[in-house]
């Protein structure tokens, strides 16, 4: 799902994409300047190796995600308190954003239930 950034207005633009067992559902809304606000919920399961026993397990995910997308280079003026993702071609691919969120979660430290209970 490709979004042309300059077409995003103050009226929230809903989106919903799925990847494997994860649903990424939320909206985009024009914030001001070059910035577009993204607010979404990430829910479902992510399969990843346990960081304790290396056994693959399914981790339940239920996370609120919010960040800004900048249409072009973003010059930080310290007035915003969210992460900013820059787009250099005037558009964003929601699937790509979902993919990087999944990578981010996978890179955190997580143990499977069995390891959690034995601690």
- Per CB under 5 A, residues contacting Zn ion are 50, 52-53, 112, 115
Q: Is 36 left (phi over 0), alpha (psi -120 to 50) or beta?
A: beta
Query: Residue 2 burial (CB < 10 Å; 0-12/13-18/19+)?
Result: exposed
Question: Quick one: 2 or 117, whose CB is closer to Zn ion?
Answer: 117
State the nearest-atom distance from the C-beta of 118 to Zn ion, in Å. Answer: 9
State the nearest-atom distance from the C-beta of 53 to Zn ion, in Å. Answer: 3
State the nearest-atom distance from the C-beta of 116 to Zn ion, in Å. Answer: 8
């Amino acid at each position: 799902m490709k979004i042309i950034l300059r077409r995003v207005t103050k009226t929230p633009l809903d989106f919903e994409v799925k990847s494997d067992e994860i649903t990424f559902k939320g909206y985009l809304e024009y914030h001001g300047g070059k910035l577009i606000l993204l607010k979404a919920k990430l829910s479902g399961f992510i399969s990843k190796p346990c960081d304790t026993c290396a056994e693959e397990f399914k981790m339940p995910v239920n996370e609120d995600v919010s960040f800004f997308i900048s249409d072009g280079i973003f010059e930080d003026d310290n007035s915003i308190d969210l992460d900013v993702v820059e787009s250099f071609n005037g558009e964003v691919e929601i699937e790509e954003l979902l993919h990087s969120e999944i990578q981010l979660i996978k890179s955190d430290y997580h143990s499977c239930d069995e390891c959690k209970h034995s601690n």
